[in-house]
Structure 1
Amino acid sequence: MKQYKFCQSCGFPLKKDEKGGGTEKDGSISKKYCSMCYENGKFLTPPEIDTAKKMQQFCIQEMKKDGINPFFAWIATRAIPKLERWKANEQRLG
């Protein structure tokens, strides 16, 4: 399986994930998604977050709550549309 450096949902660096990554249904660590996005084989984002643009807005909002500069939050979310979760989603919807 491919080794990812960044969460393929939000772009967070996987090596910085305190839990080592999200978890699959069987309890194993996900190689693709961080613990903030993925647990027990399911995404933790609200169901209405179903596009890359909505995910970018959601992540910016969450980072601002954590005291992160809004400009830095905007910069940090620019790659979200290129991540696997959203590329696959766009292909399915398009």
Structure 2
Amino acid sequence: MSWETRPPLWPRATLSWANATGGSSSAAASPKPWVAIARSALVIVWHLLADLSACSSDLGADYYANRIDKGKKACNHIRQLEALGFTVTLTQAA
């Protein structure tokens, strides 16, 4: 039995992965996202190889936790709650 005479395994309209998963076939066929990712990786590798003294250092597990300004975060939450119509009173936790 030749390939042309075999019955299709699924309908012709869903032959691409994008169509089968609900995405648009033109976006899946476009190489632009892959090219952008590959270019970013290539730029990183080039910078690491071009400068022999370049090194990376671990920022630590609590890097982002230490950068949080508690006063700003509290003010932002208060502002958002007041925008929703709540009255906010803060007391320091024991």
Shorter-chain TM-score bucket reads under 0.3
Q: Which has the larger Rg?
A: 2
More helix by share: 2
TM-score (norm 2): 0.20
TM-score (norm 1): 0.20
